[in-house]
Amino acid sequence: MLLKDKNAVIYGAGGKIGSTVARAFARDGAKVFLAGCTLPKLEALTEEISLAGGAAEAAQVDALDPQAIEQHLDAIVQKTGSIDITFNAISIRGDMGTPLIQMTSENFTLPILTRVKTHFLTATAAARHMVRQRSGVILTLSSSAAGLSGRDSRFHLTGGFGTACASIEALSRSLAGELGPQGIRVVCLRPDAIPETWTNEGEGSESDVKTYMENGTLLGHLPTLNEVANAAVFMASDRASAMTGTIANLTCGSIMD
């Protein structure tokens, strides 16, 4: 088990990415602390993980509230002694599909202000605990929108979402530089679009979009939730101990770094 005896906090654990990563962490031995706004979803996931032999606890936490984040982490540390891994899976897409020249400033800044703020708050709050123990892994979440090819920049209208992803990647690198001397690693996961998270997959033009995007990858397919979760497990584990300040390319080759 790659994460045996690790304590991992997952924000946005009620969502599709967060819940899949939480299951993967638990299967690999971590005790997972599920944080989110919808407690019934988190409690159902906690029961599912427990029935599968894992260890999980759920808490309703507003990941845009510094005090709520701090109180939750303090309670975990008092109970377990450490925060070993933190992963923020919260994603606000905002107004995608509207040209920038037709977009309001409020719609453009919504994903930027919300996503960057929650990543900053959760990462730095966890880091303050990790500095004291001189170890830990912070995982952040971006997307291919941070570095689209010319072809895809013409095709996709990402609004403020792409800017938010690019900002999260820059934040991750800055944190890695500051926290590296304290033994803390920071890795940003950058998947391409994950069809399993689409609400209308296969309907109308969405099927055409999927085909277009798959044809733009080297592997001929878009990443799956399990592929992203497996990468998160590896990046959080000691087997990736030489990796920090990096953007993990999980785009199936739609972007080549």
Q: Is residue 202 predicted with pLDDT exceeding 70?
A: no
> How confident is the model over 40-68, as a mean pLDDT?
98
Q: What is the pTM of this model?
A: 0.94
Domain 7-250 part of CATH 1.20.58.1610: no
Mean pLDDT of 192-202: 78
Give mean pLDDT, residues 62-78.
98
Burial environment of residue 239 by CB neighbours within 10 A (0 to 12, 13 to 18, 19 or more) = exposed
Residue for token digits 């940003």?
A: 188
SS3 label, residue 253: coil
Range 113-138 average pLDDT: 97
CB atoms within 10 A of CB 157: 16
How do the domains of the chain map onto residue ranges? 7-250
**What's the mean pLDDT in 14-19?**
97
**Residue 158 clears pLDDT 60, i.e. is over it:** yes
**pLDDT over 70 percentage in the chain:** 97
| Beta carbons within 8 Å of 128's beta carbon, 6+ residues apart | none
Per-residue confidence band for 200, with pLDDT thresholds at 50, 70 and 90: low
Q: Which residues contact 147 (CB under 8 A, 6 or more apart)?
A: 166, 190, 255
Higher pLDDT, 155 or 164: 164
Average pLDDT of the residues in 109-122: 96
**pLDDT > 90? residue 207:** no
Instruction: Using pLDDT thresholds of 50, 70 and 90, give the confidence band for residue 134.
Output: very high
User: Which whole number is the average pLDDT over 159-175?
Assistant: 96
Average pLDDT over residues 234-249: 98
